[in-house]
Amino acid sequence: MMQIDLTGKKALVMGVANRRSLGWAIATKLAEAGAEMAFTYQGERLRGELEKLTAELPNSRLYQCDVTVEEELDAAFNDLGTAWGKLDYVVHAIAFAPRPAMDGRYIDTTRDDWITALEISSYSLLAVARKAEPLLDEGGSLVTLSYYAAEKVIPKYNVMGVAKSALESTVRYLAYDLGKKGIRINAVSAGPVRTVAARSIPGFIKMFNKVGDAAPLGRNVTQDEVGNLGLFLLSELAGGITGETVYVDAGYHVMGMQLEEDDG
Ligand code: NAD
């Protein structure tokens, strides 16, 4: 297998809640490839878990950053800038929608819930890219996490689907802005993986099983496979790719129709 060497590179991962997080899947791949790691966590409640995890990654830096708080974004990027002076890679693995907005009809989403979901799940990428830009140089790269509900209606995803559409469009516009400096940005569109965020979606396990059955590979994607795609897109191997949404979903999204076993 071809090895990616990221020795001397510095990577920031935002959105690791625990070992199952997709942010952690990408982080471990970056660290294995030799990158020096920094992480942000949403609040004190999550710091302990991240400390335990990063004990495996010597010299990791941890910063508190709730993306809805401008001062925390400023402080995290200022502190990181002081510590490192530069940044090569950023992973944005953050999303949130208030529970009532994902249980019922999209048409009933309240103004506050809609704004909250879009602010945390879509606007935050823009905010992060703007703070990171001064630290990134040619060859710098960002990755965010999206989902098929950006493109097609997935019942219950509701406002989160709309937020992912805005996220993928944001990736395209940011690719245009940052491309002039040789900085790339892409979205990893992952199939369902059993994380904390995913399990909070009503009916997730049922959907997870259905997708696994219907996908061309006959299974769901693994956390490891999501990590590999994140590593690839951040690395120079993906040097010509920007503004893109790349699927890692065992092929599920290419299917137009699912047949039952006995349909022939
Ligand atoms: P997760 O719960 O492990 O991670 C979500 C992270 O978002 C947490 O670390 C949480 O602290 C962070 N977060 C939420 N609100 C925040 C805020 N205000 N400020 C800072 N951080 C905040 O779940 P995950 O599934 O690993 O989610 C990571 C990304 O992957 C999300 O964008 C999610 O939509 C996306 N994704 C997940 C799946 C899946 O099936 N798990 C599939 C496709 C895409």
Evaluate whether residue 254 is within a structural domain.
no
Question: Given the CA of residue 16, which atom of ligand 1 is nearest to it?
Answer: 9
Return the DSSP state at 97.
-
Instruction: Tell me which residue has its CA closest to atom 35 in ligand 1.
Output: 145
Q: Is the pLDDT of residue 165 over 90?
A: yes
Residues in Cβ contact with 113 at an 8 Å cutoff, skipping those fewer than 6 apart: 97, 98, 100, 101, 159
Give the 3-state secondary structure of residue 230. Answer: helix
What's the CA gap between 14 and 65, in Å, rounded? 8
Does 264 fall in a domain? no
- The CA distance from 189 to 250, in Å, is 11
| The one catalytic residue among 41, 89, 157, 252 | 157
Distance 7 CA to ligand 1 centre (A): 27
Report pLDDT for 257: 87
Verify whether residue 148 is a known catalytic residue: no
From the list 41, 63, 89, 147, the catalytic residue is: 147
Q: Any idea what the CATH number is for the domain that residue 87 is in?
A: 3.40.50.720
* Amino acid at the residue 210: K
- Residue 209, phi then psi, degrees to nearest 5: -65, -40
**In the structure, what pLDDT confidence band is assigned to residue 263 with cuts at 50, 70 and 90?**
low
Q: How far apart are CA 10 and CA 88, in angstroms?
A: 5
- Please classify residue 5 by burial: count the beta carbons closer than 10 Å to its beta carbon, then call 0-12 exposed, 13-18 middle and 19+ buried: exposed
What confidence category does residue 246 fall into, taking pLDDT thresholds of 50, 70 and 90?
very high
Ligand 1 center from residue 153 Cα (angstroms): 20
Q: Is residue 62 predicted with pLDDT exceeding 80?
A: yes
Burial of 204 (0-12, 13-18, 19+ CB in 10 A): middle
**Tell me, what's the pLDDT at 32?**
96
| Counted domains in the chain | 1
| Reported pTM | 0.97
Q: Is 247 a catalytic residue?
A: no
CA of 49 to the centre of ligand 1 (A): 15
Please indicate, yes or no, if residue 2 is contained in any of the structural domains: no
Tell me, in angstroms, the distance from the centre of ligand 1 to residue 198's CA: 8
pLDDT of residue 241: 98
Per the domain annotation, does 166 fall within a domain? yes
Q: What tens digit of pLDDT does each residue of 219-230 get?
A: 999 999 999 999
Residue 259 lies in a domain: no
Domain that holds residue 178: 10-248
Give residue-wise pLDDT tens across range 185-242: 999 999 999 998 888 888 889 999 999 999 999 999 999 999 999 999 999 999 999 9
| Residue 227 CA, ligand 1 centroid: distance in Å | 14
Q: Does residue 144 form part of some domain?
A: yes
Could you give the strand order of the β-sheet that contains 184-190, starting from the edge strand earlier in sequence? 61-64, 36-41, 10-14, 87-92, 136-146, 184-190, 245-248
Average pLDDT, the chain: 95
In a domain, 115, yes or no: yes
* Residue 112 lies inside a defined structural domain of this protein: yes
Q: What letter does residue 119 receive in the DSSP assignment? A: I
pLDDT at 2: 66
pLDDT band at 171 (very low <50, low <70, confident <90, very high): very high
Atom of ligand 1 nearest to the CA of 22: 26
Measured from CB, residues less than 6 Å from any atom of ligand 1 are: 15-17, 21-23, 42, 46, 66-68, 93-96, 120, 145-147, 190, 192-193, 195-198
